[in-house]
């Protein structure tokens, strides 16, 4: 029987590679019996969904993050020779 630590690694890797059938069965069996790891798996599913949103939206919507006046000026100066 896998431990929670091993199971969490399997859950994580299931997003990055195809698990071997033995690993997959070990993970499923543990998840069937363990509420904490089931929560972990759901949290990971959510995290991936959230990151998809994040990857697409942040550079458009987060107005707080912008070039400082100094950086703008410096970059403008450094690209000035490009004409």
Partner 1 sequence: MQEKTPSLSHTNPESWLKDHGDALYRYAFSRLRDTTQSEDLVQETLVAAFQGRHGFSGRSAERTWLIGILKNKLVDYLRKHAREVASGDMTGEDLDTEAMFDPSGNWKTPPSDWENPTRALEQKQFWKVMSKCLDALPSRHARVFSLCELEDFDSTEACKVFGISATNLWVLLHRARLRLRQCLENHWFGQKTSE
Q: Could you list the residues that contact partner 1 (CB under 8 A)?
A: 3-6, 8-9, 12-13, 15-17, 35-37, 39-40, 42-44, 46-51, 53-55, 57-60, 62, 65-68, 71-72, 74-76, 78-80, 82
Q: How far is the CB of 21 from partner 1 (least distance, A)?
A: 18
Selection from 44, 52, 51 nearest residue 15 by Cα: 44
Selection from 45, 5, 44, 11 nearest residue 27 by Cα: 11
How many C-beta neighbours within 10 Å does residue 27 have? Answer: 22
Q: How far is the CB of 81 from partner 1 (least distance, A)?
A: 10
Q: Which is nearer to partner 1, 28 or 62 (CB)?
A: 62
29 vs 81: CA distance, rounded Å:
64
């Amino acid at each position: 029987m896998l431990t929670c630590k091993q199971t969490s690694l399997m859950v994580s890797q299931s997003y990055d590679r195809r698990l071997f059938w033995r690993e997959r069965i070990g993970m499923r069996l543990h998840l069937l019996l363990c509420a904490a790891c089931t929560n972990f798996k759901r949290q990971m599913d959510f995290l991936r969904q959230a990151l998809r949103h994040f990857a697409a939206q942040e550079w458009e919507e987060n107005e707080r993050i912008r070039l400082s006046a100094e950086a703008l000026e410096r970059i403008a100066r450094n690209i000035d020779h490009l004409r």
